[in-house]
A = this chain, B = another copy of it.
Amino acid sequence: MTGESGCVIWFTGLSGAGKSTLAEALGGYMRSLGHKVELLDGDIVRKVFPQTGFSKKDRDEHVRRMGYLASILERNGVAVIASFISPYRESRDFVRSLCRNFVEVYVSTSLSECEKRDVKGLYRRARAGEISSFTGIDDPYEAPLRPEITIDTAGEEVGKSLERLINNLESLNILE
């Protein structure tokens, strides 16, 4: 794959699993290889569209629209690195159906590990009932059945997870 062919590398997993961290690290690495990279991150996109809610309908719609965006970027030669909790299998499969080179990366870090980290303090607030519809607590997460790549970031430095990810992407011929 040259820097001119697009792809969509889609990170899914719980809040705090390490999706955005890995996505950013991978983005930097791919830019250094000459790829045109676009990072799409759930938290950032939601800041642009603050009216997007967390109901199943809103989450589905959000993921589908971002997938559409990713697919159009992909066909314009952009390497899209998307990082969304994207808890529903059906909407992730919809995104897959829109894309050509789609790689689902399941960041499988367990709920207990994510909750232990609780980088943004959201799990604590969800447990306290201050936030509702929080994935993993009172909202479902449907794990991928056949993700191209699975990464558990527990007990591992980011550099090590990144290395495993890159090796996997090389095996898939997404990276050379």
Contact = CB atoms under 8 A, between A and B. Distances in A.
Nearest to A6: B76
Contact of A68 (B36, B48, B61, B64): B48
A72 B73 CA distance: 8
State the main secondary structure of chain A at its contact with B.
helix
* Oligomeric state, in copies: 2
Given A49-B64, A51-B61, A64-B49, A36 B76 contact: yes
Interface residues on A, range: 10 to 19
A34 to B, nearest CB: 14
A70 to B, nearest CB: 10
Given A51-B61, A61-B51, A38 B72 contact: yes
A69 interface: yes
A65 interface: yes
A78 interface: yes
A72 B61 CA distance: 19
Nearest to A76: B78
Contacts of A77: 36, 76
Interface in A5-25: none
Contacts of A68: 45, 48-49, 69
Interface string A43-66: 001001101000000000100110
